[in-house]
Amino acid sequence: MSLLNEYIRKRLSGNELEAELLRLITEYNKLRDTYLFVFSAAIGKPIPAISLEQADFYIFHDLLSGKNRKSVDIYIETPGGSGETAEEIVRFLHKNFDTVSFIVSGEAKSAGTLIVLSGDEILMTETGSLGPIDAQVKIGRSVVSAYDYVEWVNQKRQEAEDQGTLNPFDATMVAQITPGELSGVYHALKYAEELVVEWLVNYKFRKWHETETRKEPVTLEAKKKRAGEIAAELTNHAKWRLHGRSIKIDDLENIGLKIKRVEDDIKLRELVHRIQIVCRLLFDTTTTFKIFATEDTKIFRQAAPANVPIKMPLSPEKADVVQIDHKCPQCGIAHKIYAKFNPNPQIDQDLQKQGFRPFPKNGKIQCNCGFEMDLTGLKNQIESNLGKSMIL
């Protein structure tokens, strides 16, 4: 039986999946004699905070500070995001742990790839993938690839030189580019490339003392040369074509990176795949969109439900009850809930006769389809609007 089918048949609740994740992390630590930190984002969910952002660094710092461990393994799955945040995370990890390793079984793209390349060791499964190195920059109201932006500007510059003019649309677009904006894009692109070189030399290559075949000493200049070649390959969009392109183990080995293949260790392979499956089931069956977890603790970021019909009283200060009509985002079934602000038991009797159920004490409701909804954000919103706490 596949591991996914095993978990599907068990029909674990959100709380049970969370407990299973912590159990797997503990087993992983015993197997590798390390301290595993799971950082996983629900790639594909239409939530802005899916991307790597500064708030993520603060959670890394909070959960990993003061750990009396020599090594840490980071299970990472992210679509990328802030390069500055990636730099803060990497410098923090290497300052606090002697050895930092990364495990990739899903996607670690863009800024995620930057982080992974700082590892003393990189472990990947056959399903794992990195992506081309590129800075994402904000131009107007959009976030775009720095590489694509520079390539477009250079293309228009060449057209102007060859033809002596540009078409009206391109001319209008080029006229809006400021020297400062263009300089910032060039610097952003170079920044990502320089980080890769620095981190490969300082971390990934620090134990590389002799060549594999000729057994010759490896100098600092040789390390810098190899790092520069790898960085050039990973920033070569003419080769990879797409910013979201998946770069697999064989691709990485072909450009000079040593990767530890997780499939070579049967026990490790099963643990890593189970961790990946449990994370994805949590994303698929709950409102969780980002996971931070160790064997000691966990922080799950939840997507607050949007556009939930709430029947608010005209006079908030006199509110006894709030009625909520919450639809399951997976199947669309409506859940009628009420939140009490007056201990009067008559409120419960009247509303339960109308098909309402009380706001759950643990802040979660599970739909018949299996999807679990975390209403913590909704609870905070209602209490903030009314200026008082629910009676649960």
Classify residue 363 by burial, with Cβ atoms within 10 Å: 0-12, 13-18, 19+. Answer: middle
pLDDT for residue 311: 67
Percent of the chain with pLDDT over 70: 86
Instruction: Name the pLDDT band for 56 (thresholds 50, 70, 90).
Output: very high
Residues 6 or more apart whose Cβ sits within 8 Å of residue 110: 79, 80, 81, 131, 132, 133, 134, 136, 243
Confidence of residue 315 (pLDDT cuts 50, 70, 90): low
Is residue 180 over pLDDT 70? no
| Highest mean pLDDT: which range of 162-171, 337-346, 374-383 | 337-346
- The model's pLDDT over 190-247, given as tens digits with 9 standing for 90+, comes to 778 888 899 999 999 988 887 777 888 888 898 999 988 888 888 876 666 555 578 9
The DSSP code sequence of 361-386 is TTSEEE-TTS-EEE-HHHHHHHHHHH
Give pLDDT, residue 73: 98
Residue found under tokens 């490969």 = 200
Task: Indicate the angle between helix axes 146-163 and 168-175, nearest 10 degrees.
Answer: 120
Mean pLDDT of the chain: 86
pLDDT of residue 60: 96
Helices and strands: H and E segment counts in the chain: 14, 17
pLDDT average, residue stretch 300-317: 69
Q: What confidence score (pLDDT) does residue 211 get? A: 76
Stretch among 51-60, 69-78, 257-266, 339-348 having the lowest mean pLDDT: 339-348
Are the beta carbons of 52 and 80 closer than 8 angstroms?
A: yes
Identity (one letter) of the amino acid at 352? Q
Task: Report the range of poorest mean pLDDT among 20-24, 134-138, 371-375.
Answer: 134-138
Return the pLDDT at 218: 83
pLDDT value, residue 212: 77
Q: 318: helix, coil or strand?
A: helix
Between 27 and 385, where is the model more confident?
Answer: 27
Fold of 3-131+246-302: 2-enoyl-CoA Hydratase; Chain A, domain 1 (3.90.226)
Nearest Cα to 358, choosing from 375, 338, 383? 338
pLDDT band at residue 278 using 50, 70 and 90 as cut-offs:
very high
Smallest CA-to-CA distance from 134 within 285, 288, 13, 239 is with 239
Region of poorest pLDDT, from 15-29, 54-68, 126-140: 126-140
Reported pTM: 0.80
Instruction: Please report, to the nearest 10 degrees, the dihedral formed by the alpha carbons of residues 191, 195, 198, 199 taken in order.
Output: 180
Query: What pLDDT is recorded for position 106?
Result: 95
How much is the pLDDT for 182? 67
Residues of the chain with CATH 3.90.226: 3-131+246-302
- Mapped onto helix, strand or coil, the DSSP state of residue 307 is coil
Residue 202 DSSP class: I
